[in-house]
Structure 1
Amino acid sequence: MIRPRWEWAVDDATGGAVPDVTSPVFTTQYDAEQWLGEHWRELAAAGATVARLLHDGAQATPGVELRTP
């Protein structure tokens, strides 16, 4: 059985990948979204401005802006 792969691509303000930030791989969209909800502040502090949810390597949802108030 092949399980779906959900993971986050995390970009900086220039649209490039944020160095040293790696998303875990999830088997459900719910788990991936929950992880982002718990870690977005840390990602923003590392220089991330947008997180894009990928499903088996293809973008599945619009990007989520990571802005601190």
Structure 2
Amino acid sequence: MIRPQWEWALDDAEGRRLTEPVTPVFTTQYDAELWLGEHWRSLAGAGAVVASLLHDGNQATPSVELRTP
């Protein structure tokens, strides 16, 4: 059985894809979104400005801006 894969792609302010930090791969969209809700501040602190949720390699939802107050 092949399980669906959900993962976050992170981009910097210039739109370049970041290779670090690496996000986990999830089996459900809910788990992926929950994880981002818990970790977005640290991702933003590491230089991520935009997060895009990928489902089996394809963008599944609109991108999310990671803004710190």
- TM-score under structure 2 length normalisation: 0.96
How far, CA to CA, are the matches of 1:63 and 1:44 in structure 2? 14
Identity among equivalent positions (%) equals 74
How far, CA to CA, are the matches of 1:2 and 1:55 in structure 2? 13
Aligned pairs, number: 69
- TM-score under structure 1 length normalisation: 0.96
Moved over 4 A (4+): none
Alignment-derived partner of residue 55 in structure 1: 55
How far, CA to CA, are the matches of 2:29 and 2:49 in structure 1? 21
Which stretches in structure 2 are left out of the alignment for 5+ residues? Answer: none
Which stretches in structure 1 are left out of the alignment for 5+ residues? Answer: none
